């Protein structure tokens, strides 16, 4: 019986070099992933987080390209050799619109409440 990976057409190298990237530490918060690593050579690395276009990546404060792994849809980063800190940040472009919508709703409800109070006082 073939595995789902074999059926998907995803290929893996014959030997994986597990010593190339050593994760030293990592932190995960909503919308942010930070990790330190050491590597003997530059390497392409998959981060176990779904790719969305609004992810930004920084290595030691310098922006790098974030790409989508075609096999699994995860974040793929090309990381340089040496010991570095990587910071991934997700910025939702619709966040300011949510605040604007909430402020508009509060303004409309406030206006309606004021009008209702004013009409009761006139009676």
Instruction: Say what the pTM is.
Output: 0.64
Using the CB atoms, write b or e for 60-76: b if 16+ within 10 Å. Answer: eeeebebeebeeeeebb
Residue 4 has pLDDT above 50, yes or no: no
Edge to edge, the sheet with strand 43-50 lists 43-50, 74-79, 66-68
Dihedral over Cα of 36, 40, 44, 47: its sign: negative
Looking at domain 15-92, does it have CATH number 3.40.50.620?
no
Q: Please give the structure tokens belonging to residue 52.
A: 């969305």
Average pLDDT over residues 94-111: 90
pLDDT averaged over the chain?
83
Dihedral over Cα of 93, 87, 28, 77: its sign: positive
Residue 76 has pLDDT above 50, yes or no: yes
Residue ranges of the domains in the chain? 15-92, 93-123
Query: Do 81 and 42 contact (CB within 8 A), yes or no?
Result: yes
């Amino acid at each position: 019986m073939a595995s789902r990976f074999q059926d998907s057409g995803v290929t893996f190298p014959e030997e994986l070099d597990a010593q190339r990237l050593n994760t030293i530490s990592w932190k995960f918060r909503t919308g942010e992933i930070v990790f330190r690593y050491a590597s003997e050579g530059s390497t392409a690395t998959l981060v176990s987080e779904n790719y969305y276009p609004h992810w930004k990546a920084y290595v030691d404060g310098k922006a790098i390209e974030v790409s989508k792994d075609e096999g699994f849809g995860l974040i793929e980063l090309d990381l340089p050799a040496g010991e570095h800190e990587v910071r991934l940040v997700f910025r939702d472009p619709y966040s300011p619109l949510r605040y604007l919508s909430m402020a508009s709703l509060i303004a409309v409800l406030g206006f309606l409440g004021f009008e209702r109070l004013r009409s009761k006082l006139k009676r």
